[in-house]
Amino acid sequence: MYVARVLFVALVAFVFSPPAQAARLRPYTVPNTQVFDMHSKQTGDDYEILVATPPGYPEPGKLYPVVYALDADYSFALTRNVIEHFVEREDLPPMILVGIAYPGAATDRDIYKRTRTRDYTPIFVRTGGYGLEFQKVSGGAPKFKAFMAAELFPVIEHKFAADPNDRTIIGHSYGGLFATYVLLTEPSMYKRYIIVSPSLWYSDRMAFQMEEAAAARGEPASADVFLSVGALENSQMPNDLRDFYNRLKSRNRPGLKLTLQIFDDERHDSVFPGAVTRGLRTVFESLGPRPSP
């Protein structure tokens, strides 16, 4: 009995103890990425700027398209891996990804809600969204747009081989509302727009009033725009986006290339990965068939 007990204890110790030569655990770092801090005079806040460069970067004399991703606290790593996957398979051109993140937002939901409510909404609205506590800081999109144009773009184009004439923006939900706001007020800021489940309901559908105002000004919009939403979101989201797409389409602007994609089996929180994948391939026109390996 004693021998059996000793053997049992030894077996348990062997199974549940780490191997003698096991490698020490260490943090995983996403390759070809870096991060730097940036303070904005326009918004008065601090940002973490996440940057991913393509394989083989930089090539002498080459300028790269730049993709700007909002809500980088959850979108950056996912979008970076999608881009890397397609670039390596020559299904997207090499490009630089820039994510705009907020210190602490990845682990603190209140920071996440407050900062995106402030930066992504075009006007102050007292109610709606995440509630009164967060809506009291709403309406900062004009300042955030100025931060991007006057502060962020120059820094990126100084530090990296970034093409100032080839920018793309990706925005989801409130981020999609912000991208829509830019499209309707200063469309030349970006060459391509990937707008996912935009909050067009905001402030009694103010985006539709902005669209009418933009049409009345007769601004010559020239951009590739990918609009997407999940069919399983509340009915207002896909209905609003169809309406918005049809209104843009009816303006017959030759330089405005529009694509609408409704993802049948996706909800508001699940649509983003597929929409980013299809959106990038659409606005960079790489949807053609490719040979099998």
According to DSSP, the residues that pair with 167 across neighbouring strands are 66
Per-residue pLDDT tens for 129-176?
A: 999 999 999 999 999 999 999 999 999 999 999 999 999 999 999 999
Question: Would you call 22 exposed, middle or buried from its count of C-beta atoms within 10 A (0-12, 13-18, 19+)?
Answer: exposed
Six-digit token string for 59: 């090539």
Beta carbons of 38 and 151 less than 8 angstroms apart: yes
Cβ count within 10 A of residue 226: 24
Mean pLDDT computed over 264-286: 95
CB burial of residue 119 (10 Å; 0-12, 13-18, 19+) = buried
**Beta strands 64-69; 223-230: pairing state:** unpaired
What is the predicted pLDDT for the residue at 9? 47
Question: What are the residue ranges spanned by the domains of the chain?
Answer: 28-283
The average pLDDT across 94-108 equals: 97
pLDDT value of residue 13: 53
The more confident residue out of 6 and 96 is: 96
- Considering only the top CATH level, what class is 28-283? alpha beta
Q: Which amino acid is at 138?
A: S
Q: In this predicted model, what pLDDT tens digit does every residue of 83-97 receive, in sequence order? A: 999 999 999 999 999
User: What are the structure tokens assigned to 22, written together?
Assistant: 């096991």
Answer yes or no: are the C-beta atoms of 171 and 70 closer than 8 Å.
yes
User: Among candidates 202, 183, 171, 206, which has minimal Cα distance to 258?
Assistant: 183
Q: At what angle do helices 72-88 and 272-283 cross, to 10 degrees?
A: 50
Res 23: pLDDT: 80
On the question of pLDDT at 16 being above 80, the answer is: no
- Three-state SS at 194: strand
Q: What value does the mean pLDDT take over residues 194-208?
A: 97
